[in-house]
Structure 1
Amino acid sequence: MIDLRTLSRRGFLNMSAAGAAALALPAGLFRAGTASAATLPAVAEEDAVIGFGHVGPITDEGWTWSHHQGLLAVKEAFPKLKKVIEVENVPYSADATRTYRQFVSEGANMIFDTSSTGDFLHEVVKRAPEVAFMECDGHQVMDNLGWYYLAHWYPTYVIGVAAGHLSKTGKLGYVASFPVASVFCSTNAFLMGARSVNPAATLQTIAINSWFDPQAATQAGTALIDNGCDFLFGIMDEAGYLQVAEQRGVWAAMWNTDIRRYGPNSYVSSVIIDFKKFYVDQVGKRLAGTWSPSETLLQMGSGVDRDVWGAKVPADVAKAADAVRDKIVGGWSPFTGEIKDSTGTVRIAKDQKMTDTELYTWDWSVEGVSGLTS
């Protein structure tokens, strides 16, 4: 049986049943630290070929656009590279395997899968031991494969704090994609942040079965506001529900990039992602012969953060939320028990601190979240 809760953040986009089966995760999700595999030999910059495979278009102003900015940073940092290969809209199917095999046949020394195609990628990894692979939102380490992702739950909690201050009704809305770990973690962190201000706050979610569907996101945002929500959040790659919030006069926060121009009066902030430094560092290590497979969660302030506050956010709200951000950066975790799930069952005991491993693989809703089932 496929456990849909453990699929990639992008793992449902255009996915068939066969695709889902191929992405089933192995037991023993994490390995501690860095793999012990020997490093790959150095490569002269002028001989190096670097490949990037994306799930969507680089013009989406969201997830794929952000990875493309990392590619551009690599080109700037290493202007003598022989070739940088970039393929958009890589499907979750055997076509992904063919795409990455083509990268290898073109002489790629390092390949980034920016949306975790799982076994479709791993088949190529096993057959190309001389190539370094990194899988975004991956869960497996091999001799020549590592993974990386974002600890997005921390800035999401901070934005939730702002929502707790700004919402007059305490009814928050969330435009979700699928019931996957990144969405559970995002909804939970958002409501927990809001409840630190207003313990009675609730979060209604609507899943639209897509990461990029402006029409569906618009409809979901409208429905949430019609149901009394006065603050919208979500994990979309476009601005559909932000535009609805602007039209209806409610607050909204976003994901991936700063797209406040679509709703300047409603925009509160966004979970901002930035892979540029990470990609430059990884390519630099590959060229120098010091790269080895690793597991990396980019932390708040270093790859992921909250965006500059929106123009209409009151100064006292911004100050209160940023005080919480400072505490988190200083080592405090808001994800400490007691934490109950949506049925009222205690999942995290009093004073027990959730690890990043648990946060990365969160697959249940906290008390107060409705509409999202695993």
Structure 2
Amino acid sequence: MTSIITRRRMTFGAAAASALPLLGRGAQAQAPLGVGFVYVGPIGDHGYTWTHDQGRLALEKEYGAKIKTSFIENVAEGPDAARAIRQLAQAGNQLIFATSFGFMNPTIQVAKQFPKIKFEHATGYQRAENVATYNARFYEGRAVIGTIAGHMSKSGQAGYVASFPIPEVVMGINAFHLAARKVNPNFKTKVIWASTWYDPAKEADAAKALIDQGADMITQHTDSAAPLQAAEQRGVFAFGQASDMSAFAPKAHLTAIVDDWSGYYIKRVKEVMDGTWKTGDVWGGLKEGMVRMAPFNPAMTPAARAAAEELVKGITAGTLHPFTGELKDQKGEVRVKAGETASDEILSKMDWYVDGVQA
């Protein structure tokens, strides 16, 4: 079952009223498990939020009438997030997924007020007895597309449309650039910050500006297909974000990093149902299937395809790591020693760019 919250955008008050829990001991025993989601963007972005909502829909398919899902979309990172999360808690949801980095502090805040409710926060690092964290190793996919860009770029320059300088985004930029430089040591990665997760006009303008500066490869960590469409119009190649976006730019779209949250959501809901849910941290990537690569465009050269496939195999097998040293930052300071790999702790707090990133 799906709460009416999912049918259209609603005010916080109206949404809360639409999902009031059933009253009485008998009714509660038979009531479906309430599972709520808080989204930073619209479910129609065909990017990050869309993939989380695909996970929610997979839950409904898996459990049917045993659960009742609801969501609130377009929630700003800040005070609005606390209100949205609290609304879902007051509406009777027993498990709430807050799906953006900027929801971290609001999730912790609301979780203290509702100790019997389970909360999950995506891409963050703060946990509590009733708050777990989960993330996908997007950087693994970005290393793959960086490898492709290194092989395919004629100008030796890529443009990167980025959202906000949080660790998740910074490590993606670094992984992309390091992989491209392994192919072409003179490769350049120029970054424009859009300061938004979803704004098609701003994203398109950023992509066009990067193309004007010489980039013939466009990649992004924003959620609309606008950068891809700008690349298609200008006759350069690009990569999708979070889902297969080839339908929006069939010529430009070389591949995309695909986020798949379905398995994780199904597992965590089952654990709430059978009473085995515990707090913790999960960070899955290509090996676990939380990150996948979209089909490769036939326009890719044989060398680019072979290198990309080899990298996917190596990362999946654990024999290759995108952040293997020696790695220096923009100031020349060694951040990861030769032969070592960056720990998850380093990655989760990454606030520096590798040498050569123009950001």
TM-score range, shorter chain: 0.7 to 0.9
Name the CA distance, whole Å, in 2 between partners of 1:118 and 1:345.
30
In structure 1, runs of 5+ residues without a counterpart are 1-42
Structure 1 position 259 matched with structure 2 position 249: no
Which residue of the partner structure matches residue 368 of structure 1? 356
Which residue of the partner structure matches residue 188 of structure 2? 202
Q: 1:351 aligns with which of 327, 339, 345?
A: 339
Do the aligned residues in 2 keep the contact of 1:257 with 1:271 (CA within 8 Å)?
Answer: yes
Q: 1:228 aligns with which of 208, 214, 235?
A: 214
Structure 1 position 83 matched with structure 2 position 52: no
TM-score using structure 2 length: 0.88
Name the CA distance, whole Å, in 2 between partners of 1:75 and 1:108.
15
SS at match of 1:243: helix
Name the CA distance, whole Å, in 1 between partners of 2:286 and 2:125.
20
Structure 1 position 156 matched with structure 2 position 142: yes
AA matched with 1:152: F
Structure 1 position 314 matched with structure 2 position 312: no
Name the CA distance, whole Å, in 2 between partners of 1:94 and 1:307.
36
Which residue of the partner structure matches residue 10 of structure 1? none
Matches within 5 A, 1:137-176: 137-176=123-162
Structure 1 position 189 matched with structure 2 position 178: no
Q: Using the TM superposition, give the Cα deviation of residue 266 of structure 1 relative to its aligned residue in structure 2, in angstroms.
A: 1.3
Structure 1 position 342 matched with structure 2 position 327: no
More helix by share: 2
Name the CA distance, whole Å, in 2 between partners of 1:188 and 1:68.
28
Q: 2:100 aligns with which of 79, 101, 115?
A: 115
Name the CA distance, whole Å, in 2 between partners of 1:45 and 1:91.
35
Name the CA distance, whole Å, in 2 between partners of 1:119 and 1:359.
20
Structure 1 position 67 matched with structure 2 position 52: yes
SS at match of 1:74: helix
TM-score using structure 1 length: 0.84
SS at match of 2:155: coil
Do the aligned residues in 2 keep the contact of 1:45 with 1:80 (CA within 8 Å)?
Answer: no
Q: Using the TM superposition, give the Cα deviation of residue 44 of structure 1 relative to its aligned residue in structure 2, in angstroms.
A: 6.5
| Structure 2 CA distance for partners of 1:82 and 1:336, relative to 1, 3 Å | closer
Do the aligned residues in 2 keep the contact of 1:90 with 1:96 (CA within 8 Å)?
Answer: yes
Counting matched residue pairs gives 329
Deviations 1:39-63 (A, max 9, x none): xxxx967442111111111111111
Q: Using the TM superposition, give the Cα deviation of residue 304 of structure 1 relative to its aligned residue in structure 2, in angstroms.
A: 0.8
Q: Using the TM superposition, give the Cα deviation of residue 82 of structure 1 relative to its aligned residue in structure 2, in angstroms.
A: 5.0
Matches within 5 A, 1:92-111: 92-111=77-96
Counting aligned pairs with the same residue, the percent is: 35
Stretch of structure 1 that moved more, 177-186 or 190-199: 177-186
Name the CA distance, whole Å, in 2 between partners of 1:53 and 1:118.
12
Matches within 5 A, 1:1-12: none
Q: Using the TM superposition, give the Cα deviation of residue 360 of structure 1 relative to its aligned residue in structure 2, in angstroms.
A: 2.4
Do the aligned residues in 2 keep the contact of 1:151 with 1:360 (CA within 8 Å)?
Answer: no
Which residue of the partner structure matches residue 48 of structure 1? 33
SS at match of 1:98: helix
Do the aligned residues in 2 keep the contact of 1:336 with 1:354 (CA within 8 Å)?
Answer: yes
In structure 2, runs of 5+ residues without a counterpart are 1-27
